[in-house]
Amino acid sequence: MTETDPYSAPQTDVYANRLITEKLQGLDFKQLKKLYYRSCNVNAITFLVALGLMVLAIVLVLPNADYEPIMRYVFVGLAVFYSVAVVGLFKRTSWGRILGIIVCIISLIKIPLGTAVGVFGLFAFFGAPELFGPNRITHRELKSEFKLQKAQLKKG
């Protein structure tokens, strides 16, 4: 509260109270922005792989599909692989990154949309290994730090 307006909301200095992780301290705004956007790309790739898994599941459920019985086993194998990859990518594990790279390489075959998604994903996975593993930088940390630094740049 201020002396002039007793009904105003209390004011705090957000910038003085923030906690910066050790991994983010050495990054300037440009590097932080690149890392934040790559984290967003990983989230988008995870969503697209999950969407592909749903389409694959629908294809498996269709009763009168005109493909060889061996293809059903291939589709089931791909569905299991994609579901494990989605779990690993969602949790941002180190093995999830490896499976994500493999999924992106597989999707390069599917021209034109799969190729774009594959290149997009490979760029994100190879460009930001610090987003995966036990000592990873979380998306939440990146987002809050990015927004704070962006607000500071607008002010100053």
Q: How far apart are CA 71 and CA 67, in angstroms?
A: 6
pTM of this prediction exceeds 0.85: no
Tokens coding 4: 């002039």
Residue pLDDT tens, the chain, 156 long? 556 777 877 765 554 445 566 677 778 889 999 999 999 999 999 999 999 899 888 888 877 667 777 888 888 899 999 999 999 999 999 999 999 999 999 999 988 888 998 999 999 999 989 999 988 888 988 898 888 888 888 887
Q: Taking Cα atoms as reference points, which of 58, 23, 42 lies closest to residue 134?
A: 23
Write down the domain spans for the chain: 27-155
112 upstream amide cis, omega within 30 of 0: yes
